[in-house]
Structure 1
Amino acid sequence: MRRRSLLIAVPAGLVTVAGCGGDNKSDSSKASDSASPSAPATSAAPPPKIVGGPLPAVTAGTKFGEKPAVAKGSGDPSKQLAVKTLIAGGGKAVAENDYVQAHYLGQVWSTGKVFDNSYDRKTPLLIQLAEGSIIDGWRYALQGKKVGSRVLFSVPPTWGYGKEGNSQAGIKGTDTLVFVADIQGAFNASSSAKGTEVPQNDASLPKVGTNTDGKAPSIDIPKKDAPTGLVSKYVIEGDGETVAAKDSVLVQYKGVFWDNGKEFDSTYGRKALTSFGLQQVVKGWAQGLEGKKVGSRVLIVVPPKLGYGDKPPAGSGIKKDSVLVFSVDILAKM
């Protein structure tokens, strides 16, 4: 599964509305060109019973984060969801509707054929455990498991790709699938930046709160003229990977107007995170986040020419030529 095969549901935020040449479809909404645990068109099966087996053995790559090798299934697989924690992590427990970041390998029970894995791509999956975003087998198998865990589970068609299967991946409608997932992170509406606070000594710039309790930070606008150029500065500097122009990110953010400090958009208010590609958003966001580290909180001041200019989104409450101020927590890179 390449990044563009992910079916991540992106809440409708103002930031992702403009700067895309009129095409607001995310990269993840395009047709898949490889297999993934992304959800089929419908997902209406009742919850499965969780059982302990049978499950094939992991024969190599047994450490967390290593690419595993898994034996072919022996005998008939369970008609329910078989789940086993091979390595118990010590992080937060995963809940329904969380975004989960995980490396994984998937293969067919009866043949042992690997149809997809993220280890070779060196890019973990980041997807929401929500109905319609991912196959139900993943939703139910990973709920309650802790970050740092390796989970082995088998998914019968009912909670996988259904009777239609996935022809692109060579998965038939009768195939039970076997997955190994290494849970590397979990994020929800209470997630915040993690890192080192950076002094905010420039009195001509807004000051952003440094709380990391999942609540919206304060943004105090100085009684000064707005800068004419883009401002992008760390408030909290994380220690994760650097964001590149081609990347997609998962964020918390809050946006206010420079002229009155009034909030016009916020993931905190919606209680839902937002994911997007840097090529989808207004230029001020794309340029402001490029080069910043995952885990950081970033102050971005967007002048009109790099924001919405004289064509703000209808119904947004944003006036023409508004200077916009954002606090952005970069939670993960996709």
Structure 2
Amino acid sequence: MRSPRPWLAALAAAPLLLLAGCATEGGDGDAASQSDDAAVTSAVADGDLAELAVDTEGDAPQITWNDEPFAEGDLPFRVSETQSEDVAAGDGDEVAEGHEVQARYLAVNGTTGEQLLSTYEADETVTLDLSNENLFPAFLETLPGRSAGDTLLLAIPAADAFGAAGNPQLGVGADDTLVFYMEVVSSSEPLTSATGEAVEPEEGLPEVEADGASAAQITVPDGTEEPTELVSQVLVRGEGAEVQAGQTVKVHYTGVKFSDGEGFDNSYDRGEPAEFPIGVGRVIPGWDEGLVGQTVGSRVLLVIPAAQAYGEAPADTDGATAPPAHELAGETLVFVVDILGAY
């Protein structure tokens, strides 16, 4: 069953690739586990990040250890505190706390020597949202004050990465050090509302008044024809990158019912944007189809027929109406969505 909040189901399924693990509250068992981790860490001397370098001669960078492939070094490579080494200095905009940083990176497991993650094979960047307190503590502490164009090596202990839980999805154990080679491509303040060129909407659509700071005012004029197909109307055309299926989008939105204009949900009342994967079936189909291909910074009016929202209302059976599958089943929905980011 889908929630009327279209991102809710998505949060549980979103891949937490660069987010810190949440500590489990508990009693003696947790203390014993932490003690065991500390004992393992103390049994291995800290590695020296200065012994590592980056080979950029091939198609993708490779981390080396004393001029040999990292995996052929004297594993495990482990540190008890985050270490960083500058590879090259940039001269771009300074990274500030709370910025959104576009970066390229390569990550290696210091225990096994195996490559974990890389943006280079796909020739892409990722966004590190420094306003997200769940991002690796190492990134939150190390990146502010650097400049766009900087490249660096980072050795990150478990405590500043996934925590004691590790990340089984990636094959990272509870005491594994992560080694990153990172390029800071750009840094900017995060968007808080749509910004770009205003677009005159087609006639016959719901009317919108929006200031980007509070829930949009959406009016469905009397006589407005209810569409039978999805309407995705750009109201403000942003200048950012196109949203791609599989990305996580950050949005502010307002939702009302077409039938009576009654609001049923908005992100502004919660005081923060919503984030969810797009284009992969984690939200109602009208969101997936209507937002993929739009540009970051855009404000989009979505008018979504029931079939692409929460389904049609159940038909009468022997004079009795079956309970609806969802409280919004059978409703055409109207959303105004500000696309603030896509990662």
Q: One fold, TM greater than 0.5?
A: yes
Q: Which residue of structure 2 aligns with residue 28 of structure 1?
A: 14
Give the deviation of 1:114 after TM superposition: 3.6
Q: Which residue of structure 2 aligns with residue 39 of structure 1?
A: 20
The 8 Å contact of residues 103 and 127 in structure 2, kept in 1 or not, is answered as yes
Give the deviation of 1:14 after TM superposition: 1.4
Please list the CA deviations of residues 141-197 of structure 1 after superposition, one character each: whole Å capped at 9, or x if unmatched: 345667776554321233234566557756565543222334556676x62233322
The 8 Å contact of residues 257 and 324 in structure 1, kept in 2 or not, is answered as yes
Q: Distance in 2 between matches of 1:323 and 1:158?
A: 47
Q: Distance in 1 between matches of 2:83 and 2:307?
A: 54
The 8 Å contact of residues 297 and 327 in structure 1, kept in 2 or not, is answered as yes
Does residue 1:263 correspond to 2:254, yes or no?
no
Please list the CA deviations of residues 307-330 of structure 1 after superposition, one character each: whole Å capped at 9, or x if unmatched: 22434745xxx5x53332111123
State TM-score, norm by structure 2. 0.65
Report the AA paired with residue 96 of structure 2: A
Report the AA paired with residue 93 of structure 2: G
Q: Which residue of structure 1 aligns with residue 237 of structure 2?
A: 237
Return 147-156 or 288-297, whichever deviates more.
147-156
Please list the CA deviations of residues 70-126 of structure 1 after superposition, one character each: whole Å capped at 9, or x if unmatched: 44389997632234664364266342xx77653221135588654321221334445
Q: SS in structure 2 opposite 1:158?
A: helix
The 8 Å contact of residues 27 and 277 in structure 1, kept in 2 or not, is answered as no
Q: Which residue of structure 2 aligns with residue 106 of structure 1?
A: 107
Residues 250 and 157 from structure 1, CA distance in 2 versus in 1: closer, same or farther, beyond 3 angstroms? same
Report the AA paired with residue 137 of structure 1: A
The 8 Å contact of residues 22 and 163 in structure 2, kept in 1 or not, is answered as no
Return 191-200 or 83-92, whichever deviates more.
83-92
Report the AA paired with residue 14 of structure 2: S
Q: Which residue of structure 2 aligns with residue 194 of structure 1?
A: 195
Give the deviation of 1:54 after TM superposition: 5.3
Report the AA paired with residue 306 of structure 1: Q
Q: Which residue of structure 2 aligns with residue 87 of structure 1?
A: 90
Q: CA RMSD in A?
A: 4.2
The 8 Å contact of residues 80 and 156 in structure 1, kept in 2 or not, is answered as yes
Give the deviation of 1:236 after TM superposition: 1.5
Return 164-173 or 110-119, whichever deviates more.
164-173
Does residue 1:289 correspond to 2:270, yes or no?
no
Q: Which residue of structure 2 aligns with residue 228 of structure 1?
A: 227
Q: SS in structure 1 opposite 2:222?
A: coil
Residues 291 and 160 from structure 1, CA distance in 2 versus in 1: closer, same or farther, beyond 3 angstroms? closer
Aligned with residue 329 of structure 1, among 322, 327, 338: 338
Unaligned runs of 5+ in 2: 26-33, 35-47, 67-72, 314-323
Q: Distance in 2 between matches of 1:67 and 1:191?
A: 35
Report the AA paired with residue 322 of structure 1: E
Q: Distance in 1 between matches of 2:83 and 2:151?
A: 14
Q: Which residue of structure 2 aligns with residue 141 of structure 1?
A: 142
Aligned pairs for 1:35-74 (under 5 A) are 36-40=17-21, 42=23, 55=50, 59-61=54-56, 68-72=61-65
Q: SS in structure 1 opposite 2:253?
A: strand
Does residue 1:14 correspond to 2:5, yes or no?
yes
The 8 Å contact of residues 105 and 179 in structure 1, kept in 2 or not, is answered as yes
Counting matched residue pairs gives 293
Does residue 1:303 correspond to 2:308, yes or no?
no
The 8 Å contact of residues 90 and 148 in structure 2, kept in 1 or not, is answered as no
Residues 165 and 225 from structure 1, CA distance in 2 versus in 1: closer, same or farther, beyond 3 angstroms? closer
State TM-score, norm by structure 1. 0.67
Q: SS in structure 1 opposite 2:192?
A: coil
Q: Distance in 2 between matches of 1:305 and 1:172?
A: 44
Residues 246 and 70 from structure 1, CA distance in 2 versus in 1: closer, same or farther, beyond 3 angstroms? closer
Residues 302 and 143 from structure 1, CA distance in 2 versus in 1: closer, same or farther, beyond 3 angstroms? same
Could you say which structure has the larger radius of gyration? Answer: 2
Report the AA paired with residue 200 of structure 1: P
Residues 160 and 217 from structure 1, CA distance in 2 versus in 1: closer, same or farther, beyond 3 angstroms? same
Residues 40 and 329 from structure 1, CA distance in 2 versus in 1: closer, same or farther, beyond 3 angstroms? same
Residues 298 and 91 from structure 1, CA distance in 2 versus in 1: closer, same or farther, beyond 3 angstroms? farther
Unaligned runs of 5+ in 1: 1-11, 18-22, 46-52
Q: Which residue of structure 2 aligns with residue 178 of structure 1?
A: 179
Q: Distance in 1 between matches of 2:85 and 2:214?
A: 35
Q: SS in structure 1 opposite 2:18?
A: coil
